[in-house]
Amino acid sequence: MPSHLSADRPAAQPPGRGSVDALISQTRRLKGDVDAVRRDAQDEGSDPQGRWQRALYDLALHQLNDLDEHLAQLREGPPGPAAVRPTPATPAAPTAPRHGSLLSRVGSAEWNLLTDEASWSGELFQILGRDPATAPLTLDELPSLVLDEDRPKLTSMVTDCLVDAKPIDGEFRVVRPDGAVRTVHMMGEPVLDADGSTASMWAVLRDVSELRRSQRVVSETRDSLQHHQHRAQTEHRLAVELQEAVLPPWHGSLRLPRRSPETLDLAAHCLPSSASALIGGYWFDALELADGDTLLSVGDLTGHGVAVASGMATLLGAVRGMAMAGTQPGQLLSWLNQLLDATVQPALGSAVCCRYRPETRTLAWAQAGHPAPLLFRDGTGRRLNAPDGVLLGATPGAAYEQAEQTLEAGDLLLLHTDGLVPGHDEAEALDRLLDLAPRFDEACSAQDCVRLVVEEFGETARENDACVLIAKVTT
pLDDT reading at 347 higher than 70: yes
- DSSP structural state of residue 411: -
Exposure on the CB side of residue 457, measured as CA atoms within 13 A: 27
Q: What is the pTM of this model?
A: 0.57
User: How would residue 44 be classed by pLDDT, with cut points 50, 70 and 90?
Assistant: low
pLDDT reading at 440 higher than 80: yes
Q: Which of 36-50, 213-227, 303-317, 371-385 has the largest mean confidence?
A: 371-385
d(CA 216, CA 212): 6
Alpha-carbon Rg for the chain, nearest whole angstrom, is: 37
d(CA 273, CA 276): 6
Give the three-state DSSP class for 8.
coil
The rounded mean pLDDT for the chain is 83
d(CA 418, CA 250): 23
User: How would residue 78 be classed by pLDDT, with cut points 50, 70 and 90?
Assistant: low
161-194 b/e (C-beta count within 10 Å ≥ 16 → b): bbeeeeebeeebbbbeeeeeebbbbbbbbbbeee
Give strand ranges (E) for 227-279.
254-256, 263-271
Report, as an integer, the average pLDDT of 312-329: 93
CA distances from 136 to 116, 124, 189 (A): 11, 9, 19
Spatial contact of 205 and 174, defined as CB atoms under 8 Å apart: no
d(CA 201, CA 158): 9
Query: What's the farthest any 2 CA atoms get from each other in the chain?
Result: 115
User: How would residue 46 be classed by pLDDT, with cut points 50, 70 and 90?
Assistant: low
For residue range 118-135, what is the model confidence (pLDDT) as tens digits? Answer: 999 999 999 999 999 999
User: How would residue 155 be classed by pLDDT, with cut points 50, 70 and 90?
Assistant: very high
**How many other CB atoms sit within 10 Å of the CB of residue 420?**
22
d(CA 177, CA 204): 21
Closest CA to 353 of 283, 421, 453, 267: 283
User: How would residue 3 be classed by pLDDT, with cut points 50, 70 and 90?
Assistant: very low
pLDDT reading at 55 higher than 90: no
Q: Which range is least confidently modeled, 86-95, 235-244, 261-270?
A: 86-95
Sequence-ordered list of residues with C-beta below 8 angstroms from that of 292, at least 6 positions apart, any chain: 257, 259, 260, 357, 358, 359
Q: In what order do the strands lie in the sheet containing 198-207? A: 117-120, 106-112, 198-207, 181-192, 168-175
DSSP assignments along 347-379, one per residue: --EEEEEEEEETTTTEEEEEEESSPPPEEEETT
Sequence-ordered list of residues with C-beta below 8 angstroms from that of 419, at least 6 positions apart, any chain: 462, 463, 464, 465, 466
DSSP assignments along 81-133, one per residue: SS--PPPPP-PPPPSS--TTSTGGGEEEEEEETTTTEEEE-HHHHHHHT--TT
For residue range 181-231, what is the model confidence (pLDDT) as tens digits? Answer: 999 999 999 998 888 888 999 999 989 888 788 778 777 877 777 787 788
State percent of the chain over pLDDT 70. Answer: 85
pLDDT reading at 466 higher than 50: yes
Which residues share a beta bridge with 323?
A: none
CA distances from 317 to 94, 111, 324, 335 (A): 66, 81, 11, 13
Phi, psi dihedral angles at 352 (to 5 degrees): -130, 135
User: How would residue 7 be classed by pLDDT, with cut points 50, 70 and 90?
Assistant: very low
Angle, CA 295 vertex, CA 292 and CA 299 arms, to 5°: 175
